[in-house]
Structure 1
């Protein structure tokens, strides 16, 4: 005889039911379908609010072949101080029944005052069993109890007393050895009891989220998430993480008394004590990490920090496996890469494997073009490296998501705590002094670096790399100049004097030891170029114009020949496609218009005046169907220009976006706009190639370049091209872009022709 409860959930009362379900597969399949259907159509399952729930606690116990251990678990619930009318025991047998049903049935008959509900889940999955129990729950709060654990007599009453709709109540957790020894001082319990009675945020303590036990959860909230039924372990971590990130829960420790505790029995065969074989420690952990990563918001919020912390905790298993099986490193790396993670904590996997050093004064997580390009170079080079960088917090904001760019290839990233400066010798020399101590120590630890790579615009990078090369002559030093260093974007000499102190003397002596004279100038930028030319083994330039331009500033013919011999021209690298998917942008774009995007700062010799002029002179039809979105460092100033040109609604001024969001956003536009520096009379040749161009290439969208004659950008394969400062040329491109999307009529051609006379 089957009997329906208040919520139409099937409660098993037929004494022959267990035998039928065990022996008759047809009946079992029909019963499972009926049970699922009843749950799906029940008010409790359909109504996500708590109005249908009675105040009290549903204790959900999944059991897989638990006959020999579950009696202690259930007896601890029978002995609860809480009125039996205020809680129910929802037992979900998952997998084939090993006699658990009969045992529990006998116990229920002996204690009719207690509400026992027995459900059956054919799939041997703890996650599926818990989902079934959650949907069947009839009380306002629920808690989970494993079939080999037990609870103190005040466990439920203490939890319920501190319960609230927006609160997770937490109980102490006491470990019990196989010999029955109780450990109240376990690390987790110490963290719980240290909270006292103070309320805290549920998402702020990741250690409490790593398991099902000792928590009282609002049932309505638990129904809005679910356990993964595909995971073989770790489904509890993912469930609790989803619960935390989808609810702004408070948490409170209900009681520190042992009578209110959850007693966790440590069995050798339990999931938490599985042997560290490849399947459990690597493959299953990566499956969990994959589910956790899908929950990330990528905004450095408390929830994002929480999920990132849980991911790192899971990766600790992988690290431990590698410690025990170092010969399996390649196998582990292949397995991690097969998941195509956006941001895996590679430092755990890479620990101790770096044989190459990168010195980048500014590096992730600091938001700076120089930091991004250095990270891209690490990816392009493809070797696991240690990175030494400076504390830039006084001059640059942090964007922790930037660590995802090169994380695959970083072992240790070590921050030097020196004052940040572009042109201050005392600050740079402090970075060099502290950085060389770190580099020497790491070098000794690993048995010697094979190579060191450094890049500027921040000159501190090359100064430290030069000193490291002096002290470790066998290392191969590759030094990159992303732009000319001694002169600025206008071709003028940069200002910044070094002091001829002891630190400088070390560098000067190294130069003269190579047979070159000491420069008379005190310009630290000129000296940075000079000693790098002489001491580095390879010199990297981003384009041939830059190499020619910088060579023109070298008067020593012997040094020029040395530079030419060492020189390699290598454009800024483009990141792999996955980098463009890490941080999806929700920036709104209309599909009814052509959307053109410009990303970048405005300077005296780099702006969009010719484009704004062209738009102002374009036909009404073009302005109606074209939008220019400008993401820049000075959006308010641009707003004034937009107003003066009468382009409100046509040009949209926006602030910068985080770099990874920019990458994704670039893939959503119809055309991407990039411009050269407008060359001044001091420059016979344009030495710059905008770094943004390498990012645009990865977006796989048409690129419009505003180019200087003979520049590196002008020689690239661009979909559209006009000259810097050329308003009529820009207008021609705008009309071309418009026609490519909206084929013109003869009348529109005539109207476009009338706009050929461009005025500022």
Structure 2
């Protein structure tokens, strides 16, 4: 796998004389021994007292040839008056006798005669060495780097021309200095730990800071996976150069953040004011690029450093949230940026805070690793409606896979996990879920009012019961209910039965159903009521295919409802994710050249399996078999290995354990052909009502798909590259021969 972490670059050693800033072309890799262990625990930010710093603290010079002392870099805009700042520096107290102290005035662009004269007069005073440095180009980024490059001392402190440091400022920050410390001057009345957003008022170890600055510059050439440098984005990001520079020192170079209390307004304090939330003139793309870089910095950082970097992330996401409230049409731009970069821990709740006007009700939902959770996440993304998601906490029944939050997260404000027992159709568990869900929803409604829309999806029946309960309390809410498969019948067409208990919910539902002029269901079966409540009360009904709709209506206990259901019905196959999702979790998987690689993902059931393909492969001639490899990812590997060995094809079949969802998508894009098979229903159904959700995942892989289908099934109507009837081994062998021939032609260069 490719390591996208930016490469550290080291500047050439400082010259003993003046060093006007020039663009560096020396890109030799840094000596890694200079970079401290990234995982070493930080001490945490706090006010520092002189006793905290040992007088014989080790020098930060390393191999940089820097002298003990501090260089104060005063950044000046073109034509900006630096006299007041220089006067304040003249009266600075000293931390120790003989301490070296230099002053550099760095001008953004060519220096004016007035600035040059002010520096000359300051230098003539004799108490402090002073120089004027012209940066090669305008901008605070260039000025900061010019100051670091020209510094002769082991520490560099930054000020702006408008700052007026008190007499104890330099002594305070220098007393707190250490080889791996970023010192931040703070007002004694406001000594709050934080990562600053500007270098003004900070002191840094010069050698490490040069490397951090080079790292930030190097990142300018990498704007994310699948993209090239964006000049306009980099120009706009220059305003955030200090944020990235200081975050890099803390997170990537293991520097401790230490506060140095001083009296009076702190240098740089005016620059630390929060930008108005609605002011996002730099554009959404620029803010997302800043977030991407901060996220990369946080990876591998010690906990304290990670917390500080995330505080910056939260600030930026809060700004995005405020902007999107008034510019919701720009949400798609944010989502596209999120899809391009795999954020380790993005605060989706902050991004969407206060924006959800809809509920997504799914008993199983991300982060739980389950097919029903994945499909509901895809529905949320497809609808592009900001939601509060209500689901059941399934920690004891399903593993968590936080990565699938990337599917639905950009559209979720609040995740509402009810801590109730997890059962498929037990009435007590369903009632507990409904009660807890309504209580949690009511807490949110006290802040935001009733929801305009509710979307529920059942594989798990409890989803529709909670949505129905909410609809009964809020008749004006638009309820859309989806059935992934028939709820009241299993794949063999047999009734699913679970006894119903007394319920205020069903009593109230019955009253509402009568008001609508519909019959009340006379059944004590949970699964019958799951379907009927949605049929009667939902405003819209979603089915994955027409066969499913016809089949479910064929067995409904209330035939009169059929016309109502058809009026509300919408046919919508499971969504396919954008191409970016197939590259989010790059997998290393060996595929030998010159043969056709066929992939299959899934378990084997009595009604759904890969028997045709295995039997067909075993019956092929040896030359054809040698040009084929079957790769199976399943949760029942041991039984499959025994069966494959019996068929004599163990050397042709590679059996793997299940992989997580995003890894599955990436692997699916690597094979020459993917196999998907229909459930076997011909003995129990007039027409197959099932459309495998795997089809929607395969459809976005860009790879040919081979369907083993029943006649007239929903799968048989899909745009398959290869098709063979279920149970027809000869037809399966024909497909395998075609794949082997194509591999042979490719190997021979035909």
Fold match (TM-score > 0.5): yes
Give the alignment of 1:450-529 within 5 angstroms: 450-511=452-513, 514=516, 519=521, 521-529=523-531
**Compared CA separation, residues 450 and 361, structure 1 to 2 (3 A):** same
Of 480-489 and 493-502, deviating more is 493-502
Moved more, 667-676 or 438-447: 438-447
* Equivalent residue, structure 2, for 1:688: 690
**In 1, distance between residues paired with 2:214 and 2:396?**
43
> Where does residue 156 of structure 1 map in the other structure?
174
Task: Kindly state the Cα deviation for residue 654 of structure 1 after the two structures are TM-superposed.
Answer: 3.2
1:743–1:487 CA distance, 2 compared to 1 (3 A): same
Residue of structure 2 in register with 1:258 after alignment: 261
CA RMSD of aligned residues (A): 4.2
Q: What pairs up with 1:364-513 in 2 under 5 angstroms?
A: 364-440=366-442, 442=444, 446=448, 448-511=450-513
Q: Which moved more, 1:214-223 or 1:558-567?
A: 214-223
TM-score by length of 1: 0.76
The whole-number CA distance in structure 1 between the counterparts of 2:601 and 2:746 is: 29
- 2:37 is matched with none
**Residue 93, structure 1, aligned to residue 110, structure 2:** no
- 1:259-293 deviation per Cα after TM superposition (whole angstroms, max 9, x unaligned): 799944423xx374555664xx3525641421432
Of the three residues 122, 128, 131, the one matched with 2:136 is 122
Question: What is the Cα deviation at residue 677 of structure 1?
Answer: 2.0
- How many Å apart are 1:153 and its aligned residue? 1.4
Change (3 A) 1:510 1:276: closer
Answer whether contact 1:153 1:260 (CA < 8 A) is retained. Answer: no
Q: How does 1:8-157 map to 2 (within 5 A)?
A: 9=15, 11-12=17-18, 35-36=22-23, 39-41=24-26, 49-50=33-34, 52-54=63-65, 61=73, 63-65=75-77, 67-68=82-83, 70-71=85-86, 74=89, 79-81=94-96, 84=99, 92-98=106-112, 99-104=114-119, 107=122, 110=125, 119-134=133-148, 148=163, 151-157=169-175
- Mapped contact 1:490–1:679 kept (Cα < 8 A): yes
CA deviations 1:697-747 (Å, max 9, x no partner) are 12232111122333211221100122334444333212212222332999x
User: What runs of 5+ residues in structure 1 fail to find an aligned partner?
Assistant: 14-30, 176-181, 193-206, 747-760
The residue matched to 1:53 in structure 2 has which SS? coil
Cα distance between partner residues in 1 of 2:195 and 2:154: 21
Moved more, 140-149 or 609-618: 140-149
Task: Note if 1:233 corresponds to 2:239.
Answer: yes
Tell me: CA distance 1:518–1:729, structure 2 relative to 1, closer, same or farther (3 Å): same
Distance in 1 separating the partners of 2:585 and 2:705: 22
State how far apart, in whole Å, the 1-side matches of 2:511 and 2:91 are. Answer: 79
1:459-503 Cα distance to aligned partner (Å, 9 max, x none): 111001111222222333221101111223343433533322444
Contact 2:365 2:377 in 1 (8 A): yes
**Does the 8 Å contact 2:13/2:65 carry over to 1?**
no
Higher mean displacement: 683-692 or 624-633: 624-633
Superposition deviation, residue 124 in structure 1? 1.7
Please point out which of 160, 163, 181 is paired with 1:169.
Answer: 181
- What SS is found at the alignment partner of 1:63? strand
Corresponding residue to 2:358 among 356, 359, 363: 356
Q: Which moved more, 1:707-716 or 1:377-386?
A: 377-386
The answer to whether the 8 A contact 2:14-2:64 is kept is: no
* Per-residue deviation, 1:456: 0.4
Structure-1 separation of matches of 2:84 and 2:708: 75
Deviation of the 1:135 alpha carbon = 5.4
In structure 2, the CA distance between the partners of 1:46 and 1:457, relative to structure 1 (3 Å rule), is closer
Q: Which residue of 2 aligns with 1:530?
A: 532
8 Å Cα contact 1:172-1:262 kept in structure 2: no
CA distance change for structure 1 residues 49 and 144 in 2, over 3 Å: closer, same or farther?
farther
* Structure-2 separation of matches of 1:745 and 1:110: 81
Q: Deviations over 1:226-253 (max 9, x none)?
A: 2456323222333345556656x3x546
* CA offset digits 1:585-641 (Å, max 9, x no partner): 454555654333323344343332333333344455555544433333345555555
Alpha-carbon distance in structure 1 between the residues aligned to 2:209 and 2:155: 5
Aligned-partner SS, 2:134: strand
Counterpart for residue 753 of structure 1: none
Distance change (3 Å), C-alpha of 1:218 and 1:616:
farther
SS at match of 1:258: strand
2:317 alignment partner in structure 1: 315
Does the 8 Å contact 1:171/1:260 carry over to 2?
no
1:406 is paired with a residue whose SS is helix
Match of 1:218 among 200, 203, 208: 208
1:219 and 1:384, CA in 2 relative to 1: closer, same or farther beyond 3 A?
Answer: closer
Residues 616, 408 of structure 1: CA spacing in aligned structure 2 closer, same or farther, 3 A cutoff?
A: same
In the other structure, the counterpart of 2:715 is 713
Structure 1 partner of 2:225: none
- Say if 2:304 is the partner of 1:293: no
1:179 maps to none
Q: 1:287 to 1:57 in 2, by over 3 A?
A: farther
Preserved CA contact (<8 Å) 1:8 1:42: no
**Kept after mapping to 2: 8 A contact 1:134/1:222:** no
Structure 2: state its 5+ residue gaps: 1-10, 35-61, 221-233
Q: 1:285, 1:315 within 8 Å by CA — same for their partners in 2?
A: no
Query: Relative to structure 2, which stretch is displaced further, 708-717 or 221-230?
Result: 221-230
Q: Given the alignment of the two structures, is residue 208 of structure 1 paired with residue 195 of structure 2, yes or no?
A: yes
Comparing 719-728 and 533-542, the one that deviates more: 719-728
* C-alpha distance in structure 2 between counterparts of 1:628 and 1:140, whole Å: 62
Task: Judge conservation of contact 2:452–2:477 (CA < 8 Å) in 1.
Answer: yes
Match of 2:327 in 1: 329
Deviates more, 1:669-678 or 1:513-522: 513-522
Question: In structure 2, the residue corresponding to 1:674 is in which secondary structure?
Answer: strand
1-structure distance, mates of 2:605, 2:139: 61
Matched residues in 1 for 2:694 and 2:413: separation? 27
Would you say how many aligned residue pairs link Structure 1 and Structure 2? Answer: 676
Q: Closer, same or farther in 2 for the Cα pair 1:284/1:232, shift >3 Å? A: farther
Tell me the distance in 2 between the aligned counterparts of 1:321 and 1:584.
33
CA distance in 2, matches of 1:502, 1:138: 80
Q: Name the SS for the 1:393 alignment partner.
A: coil
Q: Give the structure 1 partner of residue 567 of structure 2.
A: 565
SS of the residue aligned with 1:183? Answer: helix
Partner of residue 634 from structure 2, selected from 632, 635, 639 = 632
Is the Cα–Cα contact under 8 Å of residues 82 and 154 in structure 1 kept in the other structure?
A: no
Residue 190 of structure 2 is aligned with which of 180, 184, 187? 184
Shift of 1:370: 1.6
Q: Distance in 2 between matches of 1:135 and 1:486?
A: 74
Quote the offset at 1:545 in angstroms.
1.9
